């Protein structure tokens, strides 16, 4: 116990010391003349495309608000953050920022005055973006209509409201630097890696976030619960979850860009990403991301759970089968094959069998529509069943689809369903 206290003291002391050093040496605003971006129509259009790939609009726009004018609440375990106004308004937006200011923000996570940004802004990913791409995004943002809207102060609990302490977070979790292509890989793979690790900031959800709000490099893309949204972002490295090692490049690219594929469909937070961002990918970029994502997962697939864990009570299975035949069979078929891409298959769909059953339970409770995209503007939807099925029935039917047709998932329990039933769908 005493040992622990000493460790804690040393840690706290170190953090305070780091914060003091930071305060003494922190960079202020940039001085001198900035590089001037030649904002041709072509550059602005490229910037618009890249801003979409980076999905700036999703966080920097309040529901029903002017695009990029900020104000959207970002609930975090540490309190609410409010995204800033990034329209070129001189007083309330980034109208006075230079291209250098913007690049420093992307690369180092520093605001114009040199203060530290909270890592809800994915600068740990954006640091990989090239100067040229940063300049194009800057040119595009400077071209949108300025909106006068003051930034709303964050509502973080002590001590998280002390920005200086972010120096600790940065030491642990932030590695600055542009993407370095891997010469052993193809140009297409490198393009995909650049987009996935950089602007796409996929790791923000698909790498587990720990209690300090950081994600470690060793666990990159291994999946995690999305804080405050209660959806599980599957691992991209395990074929048992969202791992795409066995998928065709076409199916992966479709999932990202179209929102539906012959293997699975996006819902929840990923539907938002496809709607706001990935649907605008060029076919080449979608394929590049797919090639890179496919390479993250090894091809072999040992069973996720042991046969003991998969043991299911016959009565539960029978109840699940009954519910399935009554409510689900119309769209997902007798053999769970679905009618892809309209209705996704359940057999062999890793989203159904993942160790964490949150996503399939939520889908049964709340239903869902894939995003309406340029290539699939009229998606087929699934209705909610929370007002029709009891906790026992939902648990039974989710258990059934996790073990039927050769699926290798573990059963779920009524209390697991009940926990999720209490949440508002989002």
Partner 1 sequence: MTRAKNPFSFLVYAAGAVVTGAWLVAAAQPLAQNAAIPAFKTLDSIEARVQGCTTCHGQSGQGTKNDYFPRIAGKPAGYLYNQLVAFRDGKRRYAPMNYLVAYLPDAYLREIAEHYAKQRPAFMLHETVPADPASLERGQTLARTGDPKKGIPACISCHGANLTGMEPGVPGLVGLRPNYIAAQLVRWRVGERVAADPDCMKRIATRLTDADVGALAAWLARQKPPADALPESSDVARMPLACGSQR
Which residue, 98 or 373, is less far from partner 1 as judged by CB? 373
- Helix, strand, coil proportions of the chain in percent (round to 5)? 45, 5, 50
Question: How far is 417 from 382, CA to CA, in rounded Å?
Answer: 18
CB atoms within 10 A of CB 26: 16
Q: Which of positions 302-341 make contact with partner 1 (CB under 8 A)?
A: 326-328, 330-331, 339
User: From the centroid of its chain, how far is CA 219?
Assistant: 15
Distance in Å, CB of 104 to partner 1, minimum: 34
CB atoms within 10 A of CB 2: 6
Q: Which of positions 44-73 make contact with partner 1 (CB under 8 A)?
A: 63-64
Which residue, 19 or 365, is less far from partner 1 as judged by CB? 365
Q: Which stretch binds partner 1 (CB under 8 A): 22-30, 45-53, 344-352, 368-376?
A: 368-376
Distance in Å, CB of 271 to partner 1, minimum: 5
Q: Beta strands 155-156 and 73-76: pairing type?
A: unpaired
Which residue, 34 or 418, is less far from partner 1 as judged by CB? 418
Is 384 among the residues that bind partner 1 (CB under 8 A)? Answer: yes
Residues in the interface with partner 1 (CB under 8 A) total: 34
Token digits for 247?
């998928």
Residue 98: cis peptide before it, omega within 30 degrees of 0: no
Which residue, 208 or 364, is less far from partner 1 as judged by CB? 364
Question: For the window 247-286, what string marks contact with partner 1 as x by the rule CB under 8 A?
Answer: ------------------------xx-xx-----------
Q: Report residue 81: phi and psi, to 5°.
A: -105, 150
Is 372 among the residues that bind partner 1 (CB under 8 A)? Answer: yes
| Buried-state track 338-359, b at ≥16 Cβ within 10 A, e below 16 | bebbebbbbbbbbbbbbbbbbb
Whether residue 143 contacts residue 44, with contact meaning beta carbons closer than 8 Å, is answered with yes
Distance in Å, CB of 351 to partner 1, minimum: 18
Per CB under 8 A, the list member of 29, 342, 347, 355 interacting with partner 1 is 342
Is 368 among the residues that bind partner 1 (CB under 8 A)? Answer: yes
Which residue, 269 or 348, is less far from partner 1 as judged by CB? 269
Question: How far is 217 from 26, CA to CA, in rounded Å?
Answer: 26
Distance in Å, CB of 276 to partner 1, minimum: 8
Per CB under 8 A, the list member of 377, 406, 415, 422 interacting with partner 1 is 377
The contacts of residue 420 (CB under 8 Å, 6+ apart) are 230, 358, 361, 362, 365
If you ran DSSP here, which 8-state letter would residue 201 be given? Answer: -
CB atoms within 10 A of CB 253: 25
Is 92 among the residues that bind partner 1 (CB under 8 A)? Answer: no
Question: How far is 388 from 382, CA to CA, in rounded Å?
Answer: 14
Per CB under 8 A, the list member of 218, 378, 406, 415 interacting with partner 1 is 378
Which residue, 297 or 398, is less far from partner 1 as judged by CB? 398
Binding site for partner 1 (CB under 8 A): 63-64, 271-272, 274-275, 326-328, 330-331, 339, 342, 366-372, 377-385, 387-388, 424-426
């Amino acid at each position: 116990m005493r040992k622990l206290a000493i460790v804690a003291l040393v840690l706290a002391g170190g953090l305070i010391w780091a914060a003091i050093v930071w305060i003494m040496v922190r960079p202020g605003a940039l001085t001198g003349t900035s590089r001037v971006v030649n904002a041709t129509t072509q550059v602005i259009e490229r910037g618009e495309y890249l801003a979409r790939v980076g999905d700036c609009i999703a966080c920097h726009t309040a529901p029903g608000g002017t695009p990029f004018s900020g104000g959207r609440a970002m609930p975090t375990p540490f309190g609410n953050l409010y995204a800033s106004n990034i329209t070129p308004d001189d007083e309330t937006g980034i109208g006075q920022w230079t291209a250098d200011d913007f690049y420093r923000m992307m690369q180092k996570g520093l605001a114009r005055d040199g203060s530290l940004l909270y890592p809800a802004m994915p600068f740990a990913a954006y640091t990989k973006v090239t100067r040229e791409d940063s300049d194009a995004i800057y040119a595009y943002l400077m071209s949108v209509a300025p909106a006068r809207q003051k930034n709303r102060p964050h509502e973080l609990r002590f001590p998280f409201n002390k920005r200086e302490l972010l120096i600790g977070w940065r030491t642990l979790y932030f590695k600055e630097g542009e993407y370095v292509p891997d010469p052993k890989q193809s140009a297409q793979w490198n393009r995909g890696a650049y987009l996935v690790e950089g602007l796409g900031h996929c790791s923000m959800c698909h790498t587990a976030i720990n209690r300090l709000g950081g994600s470690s490099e060793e666990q990159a893309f291994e999946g995690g619960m999305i804080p405050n949204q209660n959806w599980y972002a599957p691992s991209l490295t395990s074929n048992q979850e969202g791992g795409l090692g066995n998928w065709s490049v076409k199916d992966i690219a479709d999932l990202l860009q179209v929102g539906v594929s012959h293997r699975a469909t996006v819902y929840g937070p990923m539907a938002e990403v496809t709607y706001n961002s990935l649907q605008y990918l060029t076919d080449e970029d979608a394929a590049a991301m797919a090639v890179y994502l496919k390479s993250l997962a090894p091809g072999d697939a040992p069973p996720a759970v042991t046969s003991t864990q998969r043991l299911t009570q016959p009565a539960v299975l029978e109840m699940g089968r009954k519910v399935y035949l009554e409510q689900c069979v119309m769209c997902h078929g007798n053999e769970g094959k679905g009618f892809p891409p309209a209705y996704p298959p359940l057999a062999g769909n890793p989203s159904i069998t993942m160790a964490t059953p949150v996503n399939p339970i939520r889908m049964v409770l709340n239903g869902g529509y894939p995003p309406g995209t340029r290539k699939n503007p009229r998606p087929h939807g699934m209705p909610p069943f929370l007002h029709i099925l009891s906790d026992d029935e939902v648990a039974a039917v989710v258990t059934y689809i996790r073990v039927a047709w050769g699926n290798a998932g573990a059963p779920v329990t009524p209390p697991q369903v009940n926990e999720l039933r209490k949440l508002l769908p989002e």
